[in-house]
Amino acid sequence: RLSSKSGKCRTRRQVCQLILDHFDSQYSQELGDQWGSVRSVLLNPHCWQHGALLNRFGDLAGVQSHLHSLGYHSLVPHSHSPASRSEPGSSHICSPLRCLLPEGVTRLPTQRHRAGWLKQYYLLNAASLLPVLALQVRDGEKVLDLCSAPGGKALAVLQEAMPGLLRCNDVDESRSKWLQKTLQSYIPPAVLSTVTVTNTDGRAIGSAEPQVYDKVLVDAPCSNDRSWLFTPGPQQGELWLRARTQLPHLQKDLLCSALAAVRPGGMVVYSTCTLSRGENQSVVEAVLTSCPGVELLDLEEELIGSLSQHFTFARLQPPLGHLVVPEHGRTWGPMFVCRLRRLS
Ligand code: SAM
């Protein structure tokens, strides 16, 4: 039987003042009044919530009803096929992907890898499913997950549909091994035969494999606001802040590579887990200006409407993409998502 624990921090993490000052000055400007409540969530890890993505390939007998008895509720109503995402005329979506959210900060225990047994759930920040829901993968499609490790979103794609090919790529060798282990812990060998794991620089894939994929996810390397706040020591903080200035270049190159790798008519979803405008809307703006034949494809109102019951969205300027911002009681995010379509 599953037991759960409340999300208390065993060791108190130290906030890096340098990073906090930097965030205060940047985000109070970019988010205005919203920054105060976002800030207080980011500074309090004991209030962070964890969703449970159920593994449709695992033995779920009893798990779902147990979670419901603990007060967990669904992120989106369940449907059996990815094609029936919403009933005609409905203002809400449904999905084969099953993610359960706790009422408070209850956190399920992490399951250990055991050979020959598939884990039943994956713990995650539920907002990280938004890019996968936006990608709308259908059975049989060729999908590239350009920056894939440790594999949370790849796993979610396989909960939503059965792609004909899912290529999971990450430039970092040790993180690629972690990704492989994630996939083996959740996905049966028959399904894994449609998944390839590669270890190359995502910036090179667009020119090496032009117009190959139906869908590409760019879950880009970014300044991860949640963890950066707890950077140990000012020297590391300074290094991060210097690295931060370079990230938009890398992000833009990765997004351009994704747009080259997708077929005409195909979709690319760009996502980050930072609040930073320079890594979010500005990257999208730069790509739209420099890549001809690419259009912004806004997310469906049904998707945003359904998720607004659980997530808080920021008012973005310029209004390119969507940003989930954490708030007390609904601490999901930060997660920025923008969807693009290649026209020609
Ligand atoms: N999508 C992952 C998930 O859901 O578990 C998280 C991805 S994480 C935000 C970004 C990843 O990008 C890191 O694992 C990092 O190693 C990888 N990365 C950084 N630079 C890259 C590059 N040039 N090409 C491909 N991957 C890269």
State in Å: Cα 132 to ligand 1 middle.
Answer: 15
User: Considering its fold, how many domains does the chain have in total?
Assistant: 1
Per-residue confidence of the chain (344 residues) as pLDDT tens digits? 444 444 333 446 899 999 999 999 999 999 999 999 999 999 999 999 999 999 999 999 889 999 999 999 999 988 887 655 665 566 678 899 999 999 988 889 999 999 899 999 999 999 999 999 999 999 999 999 999 999 999 999 999 999 999 999 999 999 999 999 999 999 999 999 999 999 999 999 999 999 999 999 999 999 999 999 999 888 999 999 999 999 999 999 999 999 999 999 999 999 999 999 999 999 999 999 999 999 999 999 999 999 999 999 999 988 899 999 999 999 999 999 999 999 98
Ligand 1 contact via 252 beta carbon (within 6 Å): no
Specify the pLDDT at position 3: 45
Residue 116 counted as domain residue: no
Location of structure tokens 């979506």 = 93
For residue 304, give the CATH number of its domain.
Answer: 3.40.50.150
Specify the pLDDT at position 12: 65
Residue 207 counted as domain residue: yes
Q: Can you point out the beta strands (E) in 180-310?
A: 195-198, 213-219, 262-272, 294-296
Residue 3 counted as domain residue: no
From the list 147, 256, 273, 338, the catalytic residue is 273
Ligand 1 contact via 179 beta carbon (within 6 Å): no
Pocket test for ligand 1, best of 135, 172, 181, 228 (most atoms within 8 A of CB): 172
Ligand 1 contact via 77 beta carbon (within 6 Å): no
Residue 303 counted as domain residue: yes
Ligand 1 contact via 147 beta carbon (within 6 Å): yes
Specify the pLDDT at position 84: 54
Residue 312 counted as domain residue: yes
Q: Which residues contact 36 (CB under 8 A, 6 or more apart)?
A: none
Specify the pLDDT at position 89: 61
Residue 133 counted as domain residue: yes
Measuring CA to CA, which residue among 170, 176, 141, 108 is closest to residue 266? 141
Active site residue 291: no
Specify the pLDDT at position 92: 76
Domain range enclosing 260: 17-47+125-342
Residue 42 counted as domain residue: yes
